[in-house]
């Protein structure tokens, strides 16, 4: 059952990564572009870590990868809440991303 939740978490994380790329692709100002790069980097790390965690034969490594994914999710949420509006990301898009973050965290926790 935990593998199912891991796979669901990966699907949500992938959707989140695509969404983050979409809402930050037009950010071209100095500071905004730097923050957009951080957001995109965190977003792409999440499905990668979950996917590697699903395939990890070692339970300790699996937990490390899931923890990495959760930390990136938290970082992503914090950056969106703090800088999203300044980057001209709509409140609705920020809220959608935060919901995806919450859903992904829930799936990872259930998979542990």
* Helix-helix angle 59-83:2-24, to 10 degrees: 30
Tell whether the model's pLDDT for residue 1 goes beyond 70: no
Tell whether the model's pLDDT for residue 2 goes beyond 70: no
Is 112 within the bounds of a domain?
Answer: no
Is 62 within the bounds of a domain?
Answer: yes
Tell whether the model's pLDDT for residue 93 goes beyond 80: yes
Residue range of the domain that includes 60: 2-107
Select, from the ranges 77-81, 86-90, 108-112, the one with the highest average predicted confidence (pLDDT): 77-81
Q: Is 9 exposed, middle or buried (0-12, 13-18, 19+ CB in 10 A)?
A: buried
Each residue's pLDDT tens digit, 6-46? 889 899 999 999 999 999 998 877 888 899 999 999 999 99
CATH number (domain holding residue 60)? 1.20.1440.60
- Tokens, residue 1: 């059952």
Longest dimension (CA), the chain: 45
Question: Domain total for the chain?
Answer: 1
Q: Is 75 exposed, middle or buried (0-12, 13-18, 19+ CB in 10 A)?
A: middle
């Amino acid at each position: 059952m935990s593998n199912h939740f891991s796979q669901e978490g990966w699907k949500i994380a992938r959707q989140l990564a695509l969404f983050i790329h979409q809402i930050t692709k037009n950010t071209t100002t100095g500071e905004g572009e730097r923050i957009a790069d951080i957001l995109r980097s965190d977003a792409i790390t999440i499905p990668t870590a979950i996917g590697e965690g699903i395939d990890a034969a070692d339970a300790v490594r699996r937990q490390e990868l899931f923890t990495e994914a959760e930390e990136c999710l938290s970082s992503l949420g914090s950056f969106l809440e703090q800088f999203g509006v300044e980057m001209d990301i709509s409140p609705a898009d920020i809220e959608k991303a935060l919901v995806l973050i919450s859903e992904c965290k829930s799936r990872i926790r259930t998979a542990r």
